[in-house]
Amino acid sequence: MVPVGQVRTVLRFTRRRTRWWNWAGSLLGLGLLGLIIARSDPASVWAAWQGASPAWLAGAAVFYFIAPWLRAWRWRLLLGGLLRPDRSELFGLTLACYALNNVIPGRAGEVVRVTLLSLRHGVAWPTVGATAAAERVLDGLSLAGLLLVGIGLTGFPEWGLLAGLLGAGVFLGALAAAWLVLRFGPAGPTGLGRLVGQVRLGLGGLGRPDVLAAAGGLTLASWVVEAGVFFGVGRALGLDLKPAAYLVVASVGNLAWAVPLAPGGLGSFDLAVREAAAVLGAGAGAAAFGLLVHLVLWLPVTVAGIIWLGWYGAMVLTEVRPDGRGPG
């Protein structure tokens, strides 16, 4: 079991090392949001929202929860034989991660979900953290791939193609780095060797073709589901966009969200979605669409994740003593 004191040390170190980036990213995100507002007509955005179909919006909000369920399933595959938590537990941790990422800078949700799972099941923090890193690599590759497919179907401008190729290159490089760690990482009983060994355990799923294929398929499916949320919001607003256009918009928006700036992708996501939707034919409705789809992706999962986190966190604290041992 991971001692609570060690976990607190990790959290304090992470907060200190990322404080300047969190402030800078939040300010930049607010600046981008201000740019969107300055380039939009608030009255027309509000009018578009008032005319949106409640049925389509409600359906999109509910449909979105399929995506974290698929990602929880993927996480269980990547954890492999290390531990076998219920998929419902991983689903809740995924929701909690999203909720905290949406309200706290610096991707704090990732640290919290890894910490809670490590505490409850007694697996080393770097091992669980490596599975989370593997998820991010699969997400990046899937988004870049879907962006390239969408561009081929819609004739999106060349800058989108360059973004897709750049994203694919970055995440392929990360996948190659993971392979090098698996193949050549010098594991040992203490110090750096021990850390490398723990990380190798967490990355083990990427070294198994069956697990990698299944996890990759679930990743693609989850992002197609999320593109479906964009489609639902577009239909709610009456946008006349092709289904393939939503693949492009969802991919561009989420690649922008992946950059850890302001909480919840504030500003960067909205601007990316607005610009991509405008290029693809959303016209004056692009700003209303970008802001509304962000709200649909942000609000329900944040509320659900915070409620679940309160229950789960209390349970973990009652199970784990300060020395990191379980009850009894």
Domain with 18 in it: 4-319
Answer yes or no: is 325 within a domain. Answer: no
The whole-angstrom separation of Cα 299 and Cα 303 is 6
Total domains, the chain: 1
Q: Please calculate the CA angle 218-231-78 and round it to the nearest 5 degrees.
A: 15
Contact assessment for residue 106 and residue 21, using Cβ atoms and an 8 Å cutoff: yes
Answer yes or no: is 328 within a domain. Answer: no
Give 80's pLDDT tier (boundaries 50, 70, 90).
confident
**pLDDT at position 219, please?**
98
Answer yes or no: is 229 within a domain. Answer: yes
Answer yes or no: is 174 within a domain. Answer: yes
Answer yes or no: is 105 within a domain. Answer: yes
- CA-based nearest residue to 174, from 132, 137, 203: 137
Rounded to 10°, the helix 125-154/108-121 angle is 140
The identity of residue 327, as a single letter, is P
Phi then psi dihedrals of residue 4, to 5 deg: -60, -35
Answer yes or no: is 48 within a domain. Answer: yes
**pLDDT at position 7, please?**
47
pTM of the model: 0.86
Report residue 195 CA to chain centroid gap.
Answer: 25
Q: What is the pLDDT of residues 14-36, one digit of tens each?
A: 555 556 555 555 565 566 666 66
**pLDDT at position 315, please?**
74
Residues in the chain: 328
Helical spans, DSSP H, in 157-208: 158-184, 191-202
Answer yes or no: is 315 within a domain. Answer: yes
Q: What is the pLDDT of residues 263-317, one digit of tens each?
A: 888 888 988 999 999 999 998 899 999 999 999 999 999 999 999 988 887 777 6
**pLDDT at position 3, please?**
47
Answer yes or no: is 20 within a domain. Answer: yes
The whole-angstrom separation of Cα 117 and Cα 313 is 10
Residue 6 confidence (pLDDT) above 80? no
